[in-house]
Structure 1
Amino acid sequence: MAATTHWSPLADLLADAGSATTLLRLVPVVLLGGGLLVYIIARTALFIKDYMRISRALAKIPTAPGSLPLLGNVIPMITCVRRNIGAWDLMEEWLDNTGPIVKFSILGTQGVVFRDPSALKRVFQTGYKMYEKDLDVSYRPFLPILGSGLVTADGALWQKQRMLMGPALRVDVLDDIVTIAKKAVDRLCEKLAHHAGKGQSVNIEEEFRLLTLQVIGEAVLSMAPEECDRVFPSLYLPVMNEANHRVLRPYRMYLPTPEWFRFRTRMSQLNEYLIDLFRRRWESRQRLGRQKPADILDRIMEAIEESGAKWDAALETQLCYEIKTFLLAGHETSAAMLTWSTFELAMNEKATNKVQAGAPGGCGRVVLRVVSEAEAAFGLRSEKEANRRNVDEMIFTLAVLKEALRKYSVVPVVTRKLVRGSGAADDPVGVLGHPLPKGIMVACHLQGTHRLYEAPDEFRPERFMPEGEYDSFDDAIRAYMFVPFIQGPRNCLGQHLALLEARVVLSLLHKRFKFRVVDGDKVTRMPTVIPVGPTGGLNVVLEQRTDAQAKSCWDPPFLPVRAWWVRVGTHRGDLASRVRQRQLAHGRGGAMLGRRQAGITSRTYECDLHFMALSHAATSEGVAALVVAAKPPRYPNTVT
């Protein structure tokens, strides 16, 4: 018997109610999906509008080769590593082949790159308030380390942090750096002595990284070298390495890989270590009262106390960012600078002899030799303690370091973002005659600027000696022809500390050891990491330098005549009264001494009287002109 279906109004009512409930449940989903779609459409429309605005403003600027729709130049910038060159080297090729300013894009972000010093001056000096740090692209991988510290901060926050950190790097801190660096290089030399003369290779780049961390760790936090070696290689250096990997592989910032978890863990442990150190130091200061600052952290805390700021979690976090900024800026660039300087000195024995004996070589027809920089500062045989004044006098060693920074451009490119204005051309002055629009990335190609010198591939420390090539540039652009530490209001706060430390380390190492680079002709620049060091480090073989070898550097073979030694003492009066003219001329000629400024730092000069030359000696206190007019001497060298 067939089943009879009965119509039920109640069943229909229940079915309708179920459908209505289902529809009501779908309403939030539909609204959310619709809102998201509207947001995506709006954002896309704004992106297209902004992209077209920037494109129109940049229409007259030549485009970098290899640009693709949407992707832009990202593929050539990634694949150039196969040619063992970095993205910054590719940009240099663009500038060489296309023009002084080139536009490019990276996944929709449009930018321009240039190297002209007048353009750098616009970005770093005259228009610096319009050009802020590019946190969206260049600095993003390093934000967990740097946070809102001095390097990444802008505007009022940057000014506040600069005022807080600036006094911490006063003159007395620089005096301390000499002693700290001397102790660090003593420890390194003791370590290297075990390998010297045995044919064993040492990765000197890695040793420089550890040394510079020890120096900055003691200078900033009064950390013992053993503590630095325990903490930083296990926490800080792996974090830095991962951040460097993320520059060309940004997906590593988001994918939950084992490296991602290790990065977070180490970052957290480093922050906890630093904050615990801050708290203990702050409590000690509150308990013991005001005392003489022992390090940079003490000076920062002193400034915090004077400002009346309240010690809280936010201040701890900000201070943590600042100290990590000091660590990053205080050791990476210094280690790379020392590595490349050692490489060049090892490959150029003549230059090594000059550093070891403190002789700068020739400037044009003038032979100006600063005798015994390392020996004058620290002693020839039994070394003595030196102060900052002694190290300031090592002008040729400083020239070597500057030339290494120029030739190898350890920071090859710096980016900014134009953020001010509201018109089609938000920077109407722009660079190189091209107005620039708001939102554009500006790549300042420091490496390209450093190659605007004569014979840029040659290592010539004399460029940075008085009356050298650097001095020959026009006054308006000279400061922007050498920009390893940037220029303008946002220049590197620790540059003087870095150069002071490096002079101590480089001079003492080459006073005590001779270096030979393993496979020196195969050394190349790392194409993926900034600061740029040698690929795979720098392996060297060492030999201890004897007193006889050191003394042999004192009598260079290229002087056409025997030279006389003239000591010019510190004096702010008549310079002529400081030199015994009768001994200088030895009764066979006249001597006239003049000066441009009264401040003269004590230094020994070797004057080649044969040239009857005008020599200029740059000092920390002024520039003195020494005019020597005499007949070629007929007598042995006379020291006065």
Structure 2
Amino acid sequence: MYIIGFVALGLIAIAIYFFIIRPLTPLLLLKLKLGDKAILMFNPINGFIGLLMNSIKKNHDAMETIYAALRRNPNAKVILSNLIYKPCIILTGSEYIRDSFQEHHNFEKMNPFQIKSYMQKGLVFSEGERWKRQRNLLGSAFTFDKLKSRIPMMNQVVEDIALKDSKENLNEFISRMTGEIVIKSFFGELAQGFKLEGKDAQIALIELTGSMSQIQFENPFVFIKSLIFKERMWDIFPSQKEKDIVRRVDNVKMKVKEMILKRIEQLRQNPIQDKDKMVFLDLYVTEYLSQQSQQKEQLIDIEEIIHQFTTLFFVGTDTTATAIGTCLYYLAQYPEIQSEILEEVQEVIGQNEIKEEHLNKLVKINALIQEVLRLKNPSYSTIFRIVKNDTQLQEIKLKKGWALIQMQNASHKQEKYFDKATEFNYKRWLNKQKQVKNDNGYIYIPFGAGPRNCIGQHMAMMESKIIIALLVRKYKIILNPEVQQQIRFGIKFLYILEPDNCLLFEKRI
């Protein structure tokens, strides 16, 4: 009995050291050094994720605890917390965020899915020369001039899905639109009838990405595995749910590979000469075939093209859909704003299809989107980072292995940067005067900044304007009275409106 007791005490002592003393000690030393520039928000074991979960329960808003702390201490530049056993430095000061963006090579992105061979070779997670090559290849395709050819397709997707969808699940409803737009932009005509496991491809992929992220937020054991074992986590005592996720990922890769190989043969026989007519897959396949024919070093392989598709689907579907859903929520919450938006749509577009020349005239919709991105940007931070090697950031000595979070929304609710910062007021963006006070260029950066800013921001804004305009014209959007008291902003990897049935769509006469 004594031996068992000593062993138990020893294990408890090890756990206390590993999960509390080890991460907390450097955070306390930093707090002493930084004074009121730092806010200590240590949370044993649960860490930063625990802060978000507790804030949801207390405030119905995952970010409010952090925002409130920053309002109480406007001098704060960093929040000191933890990710399980790792010290976690949350950057909130714009100058700290600026320096970390500019020195991005010092930090390694944490793959939120930790699935082998899923997105690692895509644009988001690539580094060095691979990232530069991919950015150059795709960059020209994401300009407004190249994207405008997709406007008719976007109109048709919105009209078709709005007609067929039950609209009972807000996130699924909007994600069906953004997902189909991404799939058609990547695969073109090949996307016709694209299904996965008997479902429309965009629905199957949305469900899969949701399952991969949600299992880590809801299951502490899985989250700890992801931090310790990274991509090997799915092989360590996997549950049936984890096995099913891996099976679904393998199935996606197999189906996408079949489509890519089919397109390679098509373009090998009949190359496209006009780059303006190429979908994203065509850009990749054309470069792939060029490297083969010229016997160049084969920099692009099939695996990379698969990863690029899953990357573009992930970043182009959920984030845009979540932002649009939040815009619709504010229109339901403020019917007078919805009336103003509807009036603009009727004046600019009437009952016609949206065309290129209409987009810049939708100034109120643009202002609505900007205000939502200020207050409720789905990407409340960039993807979490790990410090590669000891490095200096302003006066902070970051140690190898520490977690780093760039909270790019942190300044948005502070009075020193925005008048009446906590209030929703889309009209602030209609004022031609500068809206951001004390701006150093890194206060309001909804699509990131620096060399690794969001490559798809023009496409996201284009989609958002078209979807919001067409839905407001077709439906009166109202809050669901059955769940109105339950509405909150939670975390499912993104900062997202919940529950999914919080809005009703009443067809306009």
Given the two structures, how large is their TM-score scaled by the length of structure 2?
Answer: 0.80
SS at match of 1:527: strand
CA separation of 1:491/1:347 partners in 2, compared to 1, >3 Å: closer, same or farther?
Answer: same
Letter in 2 for 1:409: N
Alignment correspondent of 1:114 = 91
How many angstroms apart in 2 are the aligned matches of 1:251 and 1:63? 28
Mark the CA change 1:408 to 1:170 in structure 2 (over 3 Å): closer, same or farther. Answer: closer
Q: CA 1:234 to 1:207, structure 2 compared with 1: closer, same or farther past 3 Å?
A: closer
SS in 2 for 1:456: coil
Secondary structure of the structure 1 residue equivalent to 2:445: coil
Determine which of 297, 301, 322 is the counterpart of 1:336.
322
The alpha-carbon deviation at position 510 of structure 1 amounts to: 1.0
What is the match of residue 362 of structure 2? 394
Task: Report the counterpart of residue 488 of structure 2 in structure 1.
Answer: 525
Q: Say which SS state the counterpart of residue 113 (structure 1) adopts.
A: strand
Within 2, Cα distance between the matches of 1:84 and 1:50? 27
For 1:430-469, what aligned pairs fall within 5 Å after superposition? 430=394, 433-452=395-414, 453-468=418-433
Shift of 1:489: 0.9
Name 2:221's counterpart in structure 1. 251
CA, structure 1 residues 102+475, in 2 after alignment: closer, same or farther (shift >3 Å)? Answer: closer
Per the alignment, residue 560 of structure 1 pairs with: none
1:268 shift after superposition = 0.5
How far 1:90 sits from its partner (Å)? 4.2
What residue is the counterpart of 1:206 in the other structure? 172
Give the conservation status (yes or no) of the 8 Å contact 1:343–1:517: yes
Does the C-alpha gap of structure 1 residues 344 and 184 become closer, same or farther in structure 2, counting only changes over 3 Å? same
Aligned to 2:468: 506
CA shift for structure 1 position 474: 4.1
**Paired AA for residue 279 in structure 1:** L
Any idea what SS the aligned residue of 2:423 has? Answer: coil
1:96-128 C-alpha deviation (Å, 9 max, x unpaired): 456432222223311222322222222223x33
Deviation at 1:483, TM superposition (A): 2.5
Counterpart selection for 1:105 from 57, 82, 100: 82
Distance 1:309 1:498 in 2: 37
Equivalent residue in structure 1 for 2:381, among 409, 413, 425: 413
Alignment of 1:108-257 (within 5 A): 108-125=85-102, 127-130=103-106, 132-135=107-110, 139-141=112-114, 145-191=118-164, 202-222=168-188, 223-224=190-191, 226-227=193-194, 230-232=199-201, 235-248=204-217, 249=219, 251-252=221-222, 253=234, 254-257=236-239
CA distance in 2, matches of 1:204, 1:74: 25
Aligned to 1:105, the other structure's residue is in SS state strand
> Where do residues 28-67 of structure 1 align in structure 2 (5 Å cutoff)?
59-61=32-34, 62=38, 64-67=40-43
Matched, 1:273 2:255: yes
Structure 2 distance, partners of 1:59, 1:416, is 24
Classify 1:94/1:457 alpha carbon distance in 2 versus 1 (closer, same or farther; 3 Å). Answer: closer
Q: Tell me how far 1:56 sits from its aligned partner.
A: 5.3
Are the aligned partners of 2:319 and 2:378 in contact in 1 as well (CA < 8 Å)?
yes
Secondary structure of the residue that 1:492 maps to in structure 2? coil
One-letter amino acid of the counterpart of residue 175, structure 1: K
Counterpart AA for 1:251: F
How far residue 411 of structure 1 moved from its aligned partner, in angstroms, is 1.4
Any idea what the Cα deviations from partners look like across 1:420-445, whole Å, max 9, x if unmatched? Answer: 5x5xxx22x52xx5454444322222
1:89 deviates by 4.3
Deviations 1:60-108 (A, max 9, x none): 144624544x876676565555436576444445444564322222233
Instruction: Specify the alignment match of 1:295 in structure 2.
Output: 279
Secondary structure at 1:541 match in 2: strand
Conserved? CA contact 1:72–1:105, under 8 Å? yes
Which whole-Å deviations, capped at 9, do the CAs of 1:418-477 have from their partners, x for residues lacking one? 335x5xxx22x52xx54544443222223322212333342211222242562x434523
State the identity as a percent.
16
Whole-angstrom distance in 1 between the partners of 2:182 and 2:408:
26
CA contact (8 A) 1:356 1:374 kept: yes
* Match of residue 260 from structure 1: 242
Equivalent-residue separation in structure 1 for 2:333 and 2:48 (angstroms): 37
Partner Cα distance (2:117, 2:31) in 1? 34
Specify which of 350, 356, 359 is matched with residue 336 of structure 2.
Answer: 350
- How many residue pairs match? The answer is 462
Check 1:238–1:312 CA distance in 2 against 1; reply closer, same or farther (3 A cut). farther
Given that 1:141 and 1:250 are in contact with CA atoms closer than 8 Å, whether structure 2 keeps it comes out as: no
What is the letter of the counterpart of residue 286 of structure 2? Answer: E
**Structure 1 residue matching 2:505: 3-state secondary structure:** strand
Q: Is the 8 A contact 1:214 1:225 kept in 2?
A: no
Residue from 476, 483, 504 that aligns with 1:541: 504
Please list the CA deviations of residues 177-223 of structure 1 after superposition, one character each: whole Å capped at 9, or x if unmatched. Answer: 3111100121134236xx7xxxxx73333210111111111111125
1:213-268: CA deviation from partner (whole Å, max 9, x where unpaired) = 11111111125565368342564123212211243236334432111111111100
Q: Can you list the C-alpha shifts for 1:523-545, whole angstroms capped at 9, x where unaligned?
A: 53342313222222144333333
Q: Report what 2:231 is aligned to.
A: none
Shift, 1:394, TM fit: 1.7
Quickly say closer, same or farther: Cα 1:435–1:515, change in 2 above 3 A: same
Counterpart for residue 28 of structure 1: none
Higher relative contact order (CA 8 A, sep 6+): 2
- The match for 2:310 is 324
Query: Against the structure 1 CA distance between its residues 305 and 523, is the aligned structure 2 distance closer, same or farther, given a 3 Å change threshold?
Result: farther
1:80 and 1:475 map into 2 onto residues whose CA distance is 29
SS of the aligned residue for 1:129 comes to helix
Which range moves more in the overlay, 284-293 or 205-214?
A: 284-293
What amino acid is aligned across from residue 208 of structure 1 in structure 2? I
Q: Could you tell me which runs of 5 or more consecutive residues in structure 1 were left unpaired when the two chains were aligned.
A: 1-43, 196-200, 359-372, 547-640
For the 8 Å contact 1:111–1:443, the answer to whether it is kept is: yes
How far 1:399 moved relative to its partner?
1.2
Is the CA contact 2:176–2:203 (under 8 Å) kept in the aligned structure 1? no
* Counterpart code for 1:129: H
CA distance 1:503–1:186, shift in 2 (3 Å): same
Greater radius of gyration (CA): 1
- Residue 488 (structure 1) shift: 1.2
Opposite residue 391 of structure 1, the aligned amino acid is L
Instruction: Tell me what 1:630 maps to.
Output: none
Confirm or deny: 8 A CA contact 2:108 2:386 kept in the other structure: yes
Q: Is the 8 A contact 2:92 2:410 kept in 1?
A: yes
1:401 Cα deviation from its structure 2 partner: 1.2
**One-letter code aligned to 2:272:** R
The RMSD of aligned alpha carbons is 3.4
Residue identity opposite 1:332 in structure 2: D
Query: Cα deviation per residue 1:350-384 (whole Å; 9 max; x = unaligned)?
Result: 211222222xxxxxxxxxxxxxx4543x4x24x24
Matches for 1:373-388 after TM superposition, within 5 Å: 373=345, 375-376=347-348, 378=349, 380-381=350-351, 383-384=352-353, 386-388=354-356
Deviation track 1:24-73 (CA, whole Å, cap 9, x = no partner) reads xxxxxxxxxxxxxxxxxxxx99xx999978875665144624544x8766
Give the Å deviation of 1:332. Answer: 0.4
